[in-house]
Amino acid sequence: MSTLKYVVKRLLFMLVTFFIIISLAFILVRLLPNVDAKQFGKDMSLILQRRIRQGLVDANGNKIPIMLQYFNFVKNTLIRFDWGVSEALYIGQDCFKIFLSKLPNTVLVNAYSSIVAVPLGLALGIYAALKKNKWQDHVISTGVMVLVSVPSYVYAFLIQYFLCFKLKLFPLIMEPGTDFFSWPMIRSMLPAVIALALGSIAGYARFTRAELTEVLTSEYLLLARTKGLTRGQTTVRHALRNAMVPIFPSIISEVILVLSGSLIIENIFVVPGIGALYVNSITSLDYNFFLLLSSFYTLIGLAAGIVVDLSYGIIDPRIRMGSRK
Amino acid sequence: MINKNNIPEISAEKFKFVGTDEKIHDQKFETKQVSYFRDAFHRFCKNKGSVVAAIIICILLVYSILVPVLCQTNYTLVPTDTTYLEYGKLLPRSGLFVNMGMNFWDGAGKQTLGEANYNALRAIGQETGHEIIKKVYEVRTDADGKSVYDVRVDSYISNGFTYLTLTEAQYKAIQDWQLETGVQVIYPANADKTVSNANIWYEANKKGVAKLDKEGNFVNNYRTSGGDGDYYSLRVEGDPGIEDPEASGRYRYATVTGDSSSISYKCRVFKYTYFQYRYGEEPTFLFGTNDKGQDIFTRLASGARFSFIFAICIASINLVIGAIYGSIEGYYGGWVDMLMERFSDILSRIPFMVVTTLFQLHLAKKVGVVPSLLFAFVLTGWIGMASTVRMQFYRYKGQEYILAARTLGASDTRLMFKHIFPNSLGTIVTSSVLVIPSVIFSESSLTYLGIINLDSATRTSVGTMLANGRAFLSTFPHIIFFPALFISLLMLSFNLFGNGLRDAFNPALRGSGE
């Protein structure tokens, strides 16, 4: 019962936070001078119509007071789910439709990378922890240190230069199109997937190694060994389970974070995903896109936070989230 | 269990005081006192990796501070002087390796050329007398039966010639300089005025492909028509004017335009020696030049200097705000803590990209790009520091020595900043040092993506250099290599350094984040 109460409380707080952030973002964005619709030529009337329908300007094209705009915005997005049309990037097209069409690219690239990174990272971390202070551990730890420290775009450049350009294993940029499961498409995604995966492999390996080494030195493991369990049995049945308590939530949150793209990696490998869309919307001042994507990223971040906290309780019943002391 | 009754009665007279006439003191320590920071320093020095990292950070710091100050002769510093534009995409070259004659870091790169391009390069070498082809790896024949040359080309020489329009004074100054040093800068013009490629001095077809004579030599096509009374300096080999300044068929070194009041000379100038004339030294760019001809060595240093100063500013502002906020939260606790935590909670949930963009859109025009970026970093950056300080306060505020101090009448501020804060200093120092690399990383990402534009003739950032170099990743990888190397080295050493600091200040945490 208390868990349910806790969940509801967290969800409510999340909604309030989300609302505050988006309201601030909306008001700050709309206080800026509008991008002049006239520069779009024949699409002008269309954009103007949309702005009137969205309640951003009155029938004569003049700005209406910001608070009124804000109420209209809330009404539009909540009730009609209308995020307006693109005013600079894809002139006149519906923002939300474009957003939906870009989402699969990001999700696929991230999903492939997670599928590779999580098992590999865990395996490396476990191996390093079992071989603690031997040469295998030193090699893995050094590699992890390098990969964690070096910015992801640097090894993205290295991958692009050596794998794509010198060895010609992959195309330089991602293939356009929607044929997501064809081999050329997957092959063209691979450089981005590798670049994304390397960092998170290193992250998981480091995390797992730290947790597992701590558990492996604990007394109850010694007891288990004294009782006659083999080393493998103690590791798998006793050490790993406890070590996974802090690791598991981050794996769970990976499922949600798959939705949010890496801005830089998408930029380098020209992945036509939402990360690239976000950057473009900022540089070309497409406010509707900016608001939509900002809301999206904010929501993802908030949701991931909640999922992490809740999954602590699921994986380890001893932890009661939100309980009093 | 000892029963009180079992203790035999001992009369009070049997007890006597010991040493009533001598005063008892604590023994004074014979050893030298070791302060907390000295102790931490000792522990830090035992960690070899962190010491090396600290040294690397120092080297990078010295590089970024000294180079922009000392290299004032940098060819990109004067905004009005656009000569540097002529020296784009030169490869890294170190004078040391050139003198040793090694095929490494000598400003040369491997190229695969067809016959025509190979000849064009050879022509530059032949005319100027410089060694342009450093090495021929292989000459092979491709599928079409044409020769293909795998050669090592000196990019400084193959940069070639350009047409410069000079005033009379400049023209004379170069001629005087030529006579003084014996180095040829101005070369004779091509007889065919329609040829725009300044590298061509030989007979060539319309595409610029050399027409060779039967022995495979170039046939010169220098202009000989018209007078050259204005030229009194060095002449190239084969010029009849060397023997006799009045001889017929002398080569022409300039195309004169304008009347006597505003006369100008259009000359074919060899860029390598022109650089020597302009700047008094041979062009040697340690890290090469970018596509615009800006020296990467000095530019990277100034970008790095900006990053360092910026990150240190933010780390210290965050430290101040976070320390005050976190102290109040942690010290008072209760509803003060609850309210303040909720506030920072909401603030920390705003995606950083959104904050940066909004600040950029609203403030950049009013207060400038850098201050608005600073505000964006500070707006959410202090939260991490505040929660660190808060935890430390919770840890220390219940301890007895605080109770003792409070009993003696110490005020709240005194307790906070004299008694609790110094104890948590180790953790706070560690986390504020680690703010620096994360700020540099975020800043380079933002400038790389072009969301923040810090680029100008005199200022740049590492991220912008990476973004500019990306277009030449496959053709001129050195443009992107050095900024990328710099930032990788910096991040790696800061992480190692931070780990070392953490272990040194909190020995109990040793090895937990490795």
pLDDT digits (tens, 9 = 90+) for B97-153: 777 777 788 888 888 888 888 888 888 888 888 888 888 888 888 888 888 888 888
CB atoms B449 and A264 under 8 Å: yes
Question: What is the Cα–Cα distance from A114 to A250, expressed in whole angstroms?
Answer: 11
- B459 has a pLDDT exceeding 50: yes
CB atoms A145 and B345 under 8 Å: no
Cα–Cα distance for residue pair B128/B272, rounded to 1 Å: 10
Mark yes or no for CB contact B488/A210 under 8 Å.
no
Return the residue of B nearest to A296 by Cα. B351
Q: Which residues of B touch A243 (CB under 8 A)?
A: none
Task: Spell out the alpha helix ranges (H) of A217-273.
Answer: 219-226, 231-233, 240-257, 263-268
- Confidence category of residue B308, pLDDT binned at 50, 70, 90: very high
Instruction: Tell me which of B112, B344, B349 to substitute to probe the interface with A (most A C-beta atoms closer than 10 Å).
Output: B349
Nearest Cβ partner for A283 among B354, B450, B480: B450
Residue B33 is predicted with a pLDDT of: 78
| pTM for the structure as a whole | 0.85
Q: List Cα–Cα distances, B22 to A38, B18, B25, B27, B30, in angstroms.
A: 99, 9, 10, 14, 22
pLDDT at B406 over 60: yes
Residues in A touching B362 (Cβ below 8 Å): 28, 31-32
Closest Cα partner for A85 from A239, A270, A288? A288
Whether residues B492 and A149 touch (CB distance < 8 A) is answered with: yes
Residues of chain A in contact with residue B361, where contact means CB-CB under 8 angstroms, are 28-29, 32, 285
- Partner-chain contact B491 A149, CB within 8 Å: yes
3-state secondary structure of B163: strand
B37-54: average pLDDT: 87
- The CA distance from B107 to B100, in Å, is 13
Residues of A whose CB is below 8 A from B511: 210, 213
Predicted confidence (pLDDT) at residue B188 exceeds the cutoff of 90: no
Q: Taking CA atoms, what residue in B is nearest to A128? A: B514
Give chain A's mean pLDDT: 84
Cβ separation B349–A17 shorter than 8 A: yes
Q: Which positions in chain B have a beta carbon within 8 angstroms of at least one beta carbon in chain A?
A: 345-346, 349-351, 353-354, 357-358, 361-362, 441, 444-445, 448-451, 466, 470, 473-474, 477, 480, 484, 487-488, 491-492, 494-496, 511-514
Residue A168's closest chain B neighbor by CA? B474
Q: Per DSSP, what are the bridge partners of residue B25?
A: none
3-state secondary structure of B233: coil
Give the nearest partner residue to A141 out of B362, B466, B514, using CB atoms. B514
Tokens of A112: 């492939």
Q: Tens of pLDDT along A196-231?
A: 999 999 999 999 998 898 888 888 888 998 999 888
Q: Which residues of B touch A161 (CB under 8 A)?
A: 473-474, 477
Q: Find the CB nearest B512 among A210, A263, A264.
A: A210
Q: What is the pLDDT of residue B378?
A: 92
Of residues B451, B477, B512, nearest to A283 (C-beta): B451
Q: Write down the mean pLDDT value for chain B.
A: 83
The answer to whether A147 and A199 have CB atoms below 8 angstroms apart is: yes
Q: Three-state DSSP class for B323?
A: helix
What is the token pair recorded at A178?
């929607």
Report the residue count for chain B: 514
Are B514 and A290 within 8 A, CB to CB? no
Contacts of A149 in chain B (CB under 8 A): 488, 491-492, 494-496
- pLDDT, one tens digit per residue, over B346-393 is 888 888 888 888 888 888 878 888 888 999 999 988 998 998 888 888
Position A218, amino acid = S
Instruction: Report the gap between the CA of B455 and the closest CA in chain A (Å).
Output: 15
What is the total residue count of chain A? 325
The pLDDT of residue B513 is: 43
**pLDDT at residue A40 is higher than 60:** no
More confident residue, B219 or A42: B219
Is A206 close to B514, i.e. CB distance below 8 A? yes
| A–B CB contacts, 8 A cutoff, strictly below | 104
* pLDDT over 70 (residue B227): no
